[in-house]
Amino acid sequence: FRKMEQEMLKCLFLGFGLQKIRYPCSKKDPFPGEAPIPHKQLQKFQRGEKYKVPAGARRRLKEAIISSEAMSELAQKQAARYDLLLPEDAGFLEGDEDEDTNTISQDDIADAVDITSGSKYFNLHLSQFGPYRLDYGRTGRHLLVGGKKGHVACIDWQSKDLMCEMNVMETVNDVKWLHTEAMFAVAQKRWLYIYDSKGLELHCVKKFNDVLRMQFLPYHFLLATASATGFLQYLDVSVGKEIAAVCTKMGRLDVMSQNPHNAVIHLGHPNGTVSLWSPNQKEPLVKMLCHRGAVRSLTVDKTGTYMVTSGLDRKLKVYDIRAFKPLHSCFLPAGASCLSLSQGGLLSAATGDIVQVYQNVLGSSPVSKPYMAHRLRGQIWGLAYCPFEDVLGIGHGEGFTSMIVPGAGEPNFDALDTNPFRSSKQRQEWEVKALLEKVQPELIGLDPGQLSKVDQASFEQRHKEQVEALGFDPLAKDKFKPKTKKKGRSSAGAIEKRKRKVAHEDQRDEIRQTVQERTERDKEQKEKSNEKKKLGNKSTLDRFRK
Amino acid sequence: MKVKVLCRNPDDYVRETTRDIQRVPRNYDPTLHPFEVPREYTRALNATKLERVFAKPFVASLDGHRDGISCITKHAKSLSTVISGACDGEVKLWNLPRQECLRTVQAHEGFVRGICSRFCGTSFFTVGDDKTIKQWNLEAPGYGVREEPINTILGKAVFTGIDHHQRESTFVTCGQTVDIWDEQRSSPIRSFSWGVDSFSCVRYNPVETELLASCASDRSIVLYDTRESAPLRKVIMQLRSNTLCWNPMEAYYFTCANEDYNLYTYDIRHLDVPVTVHMDHVSAVLDVDYSPTGREFVSASFDKTIRIFPKDKGHSREVYHTKRMQHVICVRWSADNKYVLSGSDEMNIRLWKANASEKLGLLSTREKAAAHYNKKLIEKFQHHPQVRRIARHRHLPGDILKQKREQREMKEARRRREQNVRKHSKPGSVPLLTEKEKHVAAVVE
């Protein structure tokens, strides 16, 4: 008995260092090997497809690809396992058996949840200065409201702490936070103004005139503005220079959204088209015809796969942006003037003074009834979800309303990217790092991962030049040479047999080459004969022919 | 109704006191981290630029010799001692951390042709132009006692190189013949020769300790086995090799420094074609030494530069030069893989960092992690044109740059001429030789 005790103690101490715990009696681990990871979780961290080893690759290339694929798999598994440690869960709202969730009012929800969550439903009665546009900061802490008649205020909405409030004495078309809560941009009647969070005017950018809408691209530090004169302009806020001014030639640019996955700007036009722009081209990247009437509002989801648009033809359409295909459309009795997609995939559509929130819009089937609905006092002018909270901010004619939408926000944030609880020191450090890895605007395109792909065209060009320069192809496969020291099997007949086994491969390449050459030659000859025919038929009497 | 709204308790996300570290909850979901590839590319670009900014390889210069330095050797057991021999017969022992000379010995009259230290770390051997082999004590003699060698052996001809066995008390010298000596005897126990009048360098294989290689004056490299009575085989090249060095990690590879401005790595099993041809120097390569990891080697050349090559690449990754450093005669890589020592014509030994932008000294874990991350980023994006342009950029002295351009033109001209000859002659009559095949003349068993 004592022996067993001693052995068990030994195993306990050893088990701290080893992965496998050896039991004193020869029992086997009932769950041998690694813990399994659910496939969906693993898929979440998959980036691109596995790279296949190309046929005819050299040994070094094969080894490099195999080892790098193994590393990627390990990284994927480790990231998927870490998902267990995420602290928060998403919110939800479920009605009783015969109760529809869209009949539940905000007051009921606020009463049913705890005090802090309940205080997230509040109204700011600002009926004097016109319908309000709003913007939440990236961390979801700070709220910026701008009324059409000139009232601009920024508040920390969770503590209701007023950071600044002023009236700029001009029409305010749009307001946007810049990269931190220290600066914001206001598109006023004539020019673009940049203010400090204390309300001090920092810059008046006269190059940007008649700005109607703005979008901030956080990883490029670019403020994209759409103007009433049809210009799409990009301002680099870290350097203070205008990067690009694109003349869209499509009239007044009223509807604007960004694709957070690839930083492409989406503009909606009165003829029903949606165009996609990048600062590197004078023409749109893509033009899509989306609606029969004018496009009233559009929004793109955070993965850059789906785009939701609403138009004057009272339709709400969902498109797959990667393949540019329509997925489904549904009919709204009154067209939605504002659309917004949350981090959790909830779509909010505003028509007049009613806001409706839809769930599972981006799935395969169209949605019949809304998840939640809320009626407000004034006409809705702006709609935005708060980034990491279950809150929807609504700017309307009578002020600002904050509405509780369970399930809207992303429950777990990454503190190295955006941390709502950051201290000022952490914010300063983050700002420096973000500026150092600011992405250059030349890299904005439809596929953000293009830098990681092999540039096949320029490789082939270089290979051609190399073959010309050297006189032979260094990458060509050598013809099969059989080994001649095969312990009695190296007679002439045996060598011929071995050569014949592999001969068909070499032959196939040769045949392919000759066939290609022949077809090219035939093509050339045909073209030449066609030209000759054309020339041969010409004569001076042609002008009299009918 | 059942309802749950996201509500975070700040106590879980904010640190308790200012003495704690900050809390950093992570979520690795790729949708929260867009633009992975462009951001990593920008970080790689920054890392490459910073690497060039911090590339300051020169550490120290050891001053004191009164004639050019002809050979250096490392202490077998201590990282901080180095022994160097000069062309006026002086041998100096140096302490590297304090960069001062510990001891000076007038070892020979004439050049000190070779030095090697014994594996036990208590003595070292020198050979010189006065046809003697002397064994000296590594400890300094007491006060007032004259500096005397432990042992002196007189030979018949000038010895040009010496190397000591890794474990046994035998050493090998080369001069007119390659001789294997036992420390107790005063005549060689075995002599190898193959119709050659002089050998310039001999080296023991550090892994397969019975193998030897030597560079001969008939442009060949001869391989020996001490268990056999005759040399194994030799490979004859176009031009003479000055020195050679065995790869300390792979027993069958050695690299020789040749007069035709190249270095050749050979596999002793297939001597007909070199494994790699390393080209970058613009003048004769005089010395070569491998790093203890066996992945890189350093070469010293008559063109006043030293270059560091990866073992499998044809071009150098680094070049070190100074206005004050003249023709570099000998070079050694320190045993902790961090430093390179070069001895040159103008009486100075220079200490360089093997990785030019490495931070010396004790690094914190965060610094180490950042250094590893930057290194991996540069490796990942090394083929992108902007990153490659910055990573490759090295300043070269004016004459070397001019020489390089000239040599490139000459090479292009020769290649064009060969192509023209091949085009205008019967197909197959002018054989196509790869770069590797061009340099070996013959292999003799």
Residue A128 lies in a domain: no
pLDDT value, residue A9: 57
* Per-residue model confidence as pLDDT tens digits over A15-40: 444 455 666 777 788 888 888 899 99
The answer to whether the Cα torsion of B224, B331, B304, B395 is positive or negative is: positive
Q: Which residue has tokens 């496009």?
A: A295
- The tens digit of pLDDT for each residue in B99-147 reads 999 999 999 999 999 999 999 999 999 999 999 999 999 988 888 888 8
Cα-Cα-Cα-Cα dihedral of A336, A341, A344, A350, to 10°?
-30
For chain B, say whether A478 makes contact (Cβ under 8 Å): no
For the segment B350-371, what is each residue's pLDDT rounded down to a tens digit?
Answer: 999 999 999 999 999 999 999 9
> Please, which residues have CB within 8 angstroms of residue B23's CB and are 6 or more apart in sequence?
A415, A421, B12, B13, B14, B15
Do A418 and B351 touch, CB atoms closer than 8 A? no
Residue B314, C-beta contacts closer than 8 angstroms, at least 6 positions apart: B276, B277, B278, B279
Region B187-210: mean pLDDT is 92
Those of residues 444-463 in A touching chain B at CB distance below 8 A are: 448-452
A110 interaction partners in chain B (CB closer than 8 Å): none
Residue matched to tokens 């010799």: B65
B41 and A263 in contact by Cβ < 8 A? no
Q: Are B222 and B212 in contact (CB under 8 A)?
A: no
CA distance A28 to chain B (A): 35
**Which residue type, as a one-letter code, is found at position A109?**
I
Q: Is B99 left (phi over 0), alpha (psi -120 to 50) or beta?
A: left
Residue B58 near chain A (CB below 8 Å): no
Is the Cβ–Cβ distance between A236 and A243 less than 8 Å?
A: yes
Q: Are A224 and A234 in contact (CB under 8 A)?
A: yes
Most B CBs within 10 A among A44, A421, A468, A470, hence the mutation to make, goes to: A421
Chain B contacts of A104, Cβ < 8 Å?
1
Tell me which chain B residue has its CA closest to the CA of residue A443. Answer: B38
Contacting residues for B163 by C-beta, under 8 A, at least 6 apart: B114, B116, B171, B172, B202, B203, B204, B212
The answer, for B5 touching chain A at a CB cutoff of 8 Å, is: yes
Dihedral of alpha carbons B171, B176, B178, B182, sign:
negative
Angle in degrees, CA A212, A213, A215, rounded to 5: 155
DSSP-derived 3-state class of residue A499: helix
Q: Do A448 and B35 touch (CB under 8 A)?
A: yes
Residue A31 CA to residue A11 CA, distance in Å, equals 19
The closest of A257, A378, A364, A380 to A307, measured between CA atoms, is: A257
A vs B, Cβ pairs < 8 A, gives 140
What ipTM goes with this model?
0.86
Q: How would you classify the pairing of strands A391-396 and B318-320?
A: unpaired
A61 interface with B at CB cutoff 8 Å: no
Interface test with chain A among B4, B5, B53, by most A beta carbons within 10 Å: B5
Q: Count other C-beta atoms under 10 Å from residue B398's C-beta.
A: 7
Rounded-to-integer distance, Cα B258 and Cα B262, Å: 6
CB-count burial class (<10 Å; 0-12, 13-18, 19+) for A372: buried
Q: Any chain B CB within 8 A of the CB of A117? A: yes
User: Are A448 and B33 in contact (CB < 8 Å)?
Assistant: no
As a whole number, mean pLDDT of residues B19-41 equals 95
Distance CA B82, CA B76 (A): 10
**Predicted TM-score (pTM) of this structure:** 0.87
**Is A93 within 8 Å of chain B by CB?**
yes
DSSP assigned state of A418: -
Does A230 reside within a domain? no
Burial class, B406, CB count within 10 angstroms (exposed 0-12 / middle 13-18 / buried 19+) = exposed
> Is B373 touching A (CB cutoff 8 A)?
no
Check CB contact under 8 Å for A86 and B27. yes
For A191-205, write each residue's pLDDT tens digit: 999 999 999 999 999
Minimal Cβ distance to B1: which of A93, A412, A437: A93
Asked if residues A150 and A171 have their Cβ atoms less than 8 Å apart, the reply is yes
What is the model's pLDDT at position A47?
A: 87
User: What does the alpha-carbon distance between residue B17 and residue B191 come to, in Å, rounded to a whole number?
Assistant: 78
User: Domains of chain B (ranges plus CATH)?
Assistant: 10-54+365-392 (no CATH), 58-353 (2.130.10.10)
Q: Where are the alpha helices (DSSP H) in A104-198?
A: 106-112, 115-118
CA–CA separation, A194 and A15 (whole Å)? 61
A51 is a domain residue = yes
Helix (H) or strand (E) holding B353: strand B348-353
Q: Inspect the interface and report whether the beta carbons of B35 and A219 lie closer than 8 Å.
A: yes
d(CA A276, CA A250): 12
* Chain A contact for B388 (CB, 8 A cutoff): no
In sequence order, the 6+-apart residues with CB closer than 8 A to the CB of A531 are: none
Residue A199 class from Cβ within 10 Å (0-12 exposed, 13-18 middle, 19+ buried)?
A: middle
Give burial (CB, 10 Å; 0-12/13-18/19+) of A187: buried
What is the per-residue pLDDT for A478? 67
Residue A104 within a domain: no
Q: Is residue A42 included in any domain, yes or no?
A: yes
- Domain assignment present for A13: yes
Neighbours of A520 (CB within 10 A): 10
With respect to residue A43, please indicate whether it lies within any of the assigned structural domains.
yes
Q: Ramachandran region of residue A169, left (φ > 0), alpha (ψ -120 to 50) or beta?
A: left
Q: Nearest CA of chain B to the CA of A171: how many Å?
A: 35
Number of neighbours of residue A34 by Cβ within 10 angstroms: 9
Domain coverage including residue A38: 1-85
- Two structure tokens written together for A324: 């540019």
Question: Which residues of chain B are within 8 Å of residue A412 when distances are taken between CB atoms?
Answer: 25, 27, 29
- CB contacts of B29 in chain A (<8 Å) are 44-45, 412, 414
Please report, in tens digits, the pLDDT of each residue of chain A (546 residues total): 566 566 655 555 444 444 556 667 777 888 888 888 999 999 999 988 888 888 878 888 899 999 999 999 999 999 999 988 999 999 999 988 888 888 999 999 999 999 999 999 999 999 999 999 999 999 999 999 999 999 999 999 999 999 999 999 999 999 999 999 999 999 999 999 999 999 999 999 999 999 999 999 999 999 999 999 999 999 999 999 999 999 999 999 999 999 999 999 999 999 999 999 999 999 999 999 999 999 999 999 999 999 999 999 999 999 999 999 999 888 887 789 999 999 999 999 999 999 999 998 887 777 888 999 999 989 999 999 999 999 999 999 999 999 999 999 999 999 999 999 999 999 999 999 999 999 999 999 999 999 988 888 888 888 888 887 777 777 776 667 777 776 776 778 877 887 777 777 777 778 888 888 999 999 999 999 888 887 777 777 777 777
Is some CB atom of chain B closer than 8 A to the CB atom of A466?
A: no
d(CA A443, CA A161): 39
Read off the tokens for A534: 């054309």
For residue B422, give the H/E element and its range: helix B398-423
Helix/strand/coil for B309: strand
Task: Tell me if residue B4 falls in helix, strand or coil.
Answer: strand
The secondary structure of B249-292 as a DSSP string is S-TTEEEEEETTSEEEEEETTBTTS-SEEEE--SS-EEEEEE-T
Counting the structural domains of chain A, the total is 1
Q: How confident is the model at residue A96, as a pLDDT?
A: 87
Judge: A443–B39 Cβ closer than 8 Å, yes or no: no
Closest CA to A302 of A238, A398, A388, A425: A388
Task: For A424, name the nearest residue in chain B, comparing CA atoms only.
Answer: B22
Classify residue A504 by burial, with Cβ atoms within 10 Å: 0-12, 13-18, 19+.
exposed
Cβ-based neighbour number of residue A136 at 10 Å: 20
Residue pair A102/A354 in contact (Cβ under 8 Å)? The answer is no
What pLDDT score does A460 carry? Answer: 87
In this structure, is residue A471 part of a structural domain?
Answer: no
CA atoms within 13 A on the CB side of B230: 6
Q: Which amino acid appears at position A91 of this protein?
A: G
Q: Are B256 and B266 in contact (CB under 8 A)?
A: yes
Can you tell me the distance from the alpha carbon of B30 to that of A303, in angstroms, rounded to the nearest whole number? 9
CA A106, A107, A109, A115 dihedral sign is positive
Q: CA-nearest residue of chain B to A95?
A: B1
Show which of residues 411-450 on chain A sit within 8 Å of chain B, judged by CB atoms. 411-417, 419-421, 423, 426, 436-440, 443, 448-450
* Other C-beta atoms lying within 10 Å of the C-beta of residue A235: 26
Q: Nearest C-alpha of chain A: how many angstroms from B110?
A: 50
Amino acid at B47: A
pLDDT at position A16 is 45
Q: Chain A contact for B33, CB < 8 A?
A: yes
Q: Is residue A198 helix, strand or coil?
A: coil
